[in-house]
Structure 1
Amino acid sequence: MNLRVPLSAGLLLGGITLTPMAAQAGWSEFSSAISEVDACNQAQYLMPEKAVVQEFRYRISNSANGNSFHCKVRWSDAAGAKADGRPILFPSRIPQPIFAAGWL
Structure 2
Amino acid sequence: MAHRTLLFAGLLLGGLGLTPTALAGSTTFQSAISEVDACNQAQYQMPAKATVQGFVLKTRTDKSGAASFSCRVNWTEKATAQPTDRPILFPGKVRQPWFAAGWL
TM-score, L = length of structure 2? 0.63
DSSP-derived class of the 1:42 partner: helix
**Which runs of no fewer than 5 residues in structure 2 stay unpaired?**
1-20, 92-104
- CA displacement at 1:46 relative to structure 2: 0.6
| Aligned-partner Cα distance in 2 for 1:69–1:90 | 11
CA contact (8 A) 2:57 2:90 kept: no
Give the match for residue 39 of structure 1.
38
Change (3 A) 1:90 1:35: closer
What letter is aligned with 2:71?
A: C
When structure 1 is superposed on structure 2, of 33-42 and 63-72 the one drifting more is 63-72
Task: Report SS of the residue matched to 1:37.
Answer: helix
Could you tell me whether the CA contact under 8 Å between 1:58 and 1:72 is conserved in 2?
A: yes
Alpha-carbon contact 2:23-2:76 (below 8 Å) kept = yes
Measured in 2, the distance between the counterparts of 1:61 and 1:50 equals 31
> Does 1:86 find its partner at 2:69?
no
Task: Let me know the Cα RMSD of the aligned residues.
Answer: 1.7
- CA distance in structure 1 between the aligned counterparts of 2:66 and 2:22, rounded to whole angstroms: 39
Offset at 1:88?
1.7
4+ aligned runs moved over 6 Å, structure 1 = none
How high is the sequence identity, in percent, across the aligned residues?
Answer: 54
Q: What is the deviation of 1:89?
A: 3.2
Paired positions, count: 70
The 1:51–1:28 alpha-carbon spacing in structure 2 relative to 1, beyond 3 Å, is same
CA distance in 2, matches of 1:52, 1:30: 17
Match of 2:14 in 1: none
Name structure 1 gaps, 5 residues minimum.
1-21, 92-104
Tell me if the contact between 1:32 and 1:69 (Cα under 8 Å) persists in the aligned partners: yes
Cα distance change, pair 50–43 in 1 and its aligned pair in 2 (3 A)? same
